[in-house]
Amino acid sequence: MDSPYKIAIIGGTGKVGRHIAAHAIQKGYHVRMLVRNPEKLLYKDEKIEIVQGQVQDINSIQELLKDCKVVINTFGQPTKEEPMYSKVTHNIFNVMKDLNISRYIGVSGGSLTINEDKKSIMNRFGAKLFDVFFSKMMQDKKLEWEFLLNSKHIKWTLIRLPFVKDNLTSNHIKENLTDMPGTKITNQDIATFIIDHIDHTQYVHKAPFISH
């Protein structure tokens, strides 16, 4: 029996997004995806509704989100463009508020450090390297985090990821709120974790790390 939920997916042509769409359909959800170039869509199914548009375009976000109950954002920063995570998330939340959508799941890197973290020396060093070599991107991700903290009207979850392997092999998923418990995870396991946590409140207003 199909779920009444329709899920909006941003970043559906990415390595993680296509697995999320496939897993959502297997679970009986209806799926609508925002796609800049439909020709790049590697996973196709007649149950997937496609909205062609740009994540930076508020009209595209409005068309994507209408009559959806959940928003999953795996948007990847375009190369050679200024970081836009914070702006994109801000626009998504504005549309969600207008449409009375309350559930949002996004992803970020394990290099994002927040006040409650108790990272190991190795993980602190890795985060510092990201701050140095990808300073603009990390500043924007921190802006996104500050925005999330001030958005209590949305039931958001921000999942922090290690190195992502494009692999279908499923492993046991480790979860931790204060430090990355491993060094890698597969696309399939990210998709499984996200879809399984749509209706869970365990990580609402939190940023769990997940890994193998």
**What is the DSSP track for the chain?**
---S-EEEEESTTSTTHHHHHHHHHHTT-EEEEEES-GGG--S--TTEEEEE--TT-HHHHHHHHTT-SEEEE-PPPPTTS---HHHHHHHHHHHHHHHT--EEEEEEETT---TT----HHHHHHHHHHHHHTHHHHHHHHHHHHHHHT-TTSEEEEEEE-EEE------PPEEESSS--SSEEEHHHHHHHHHHTSS--TTTTB--EEE-
The model carries a pTM of 0.94
pLDDT band at residue 124, thresholds of 50, 70 and 90?
very high
For 77-92, write each residue's pLDDT tens digit. Answer: 777 788 899 999 999 9
Structural domains present in the chain: 6-211 (3.40.50.720)
- Model confidence pLDDT, tens digit, residues 146-192: 999 999 999 999 999 999 988 766 778 999 999 999 999 999 999 99
At 132 the pLDDT is: 97
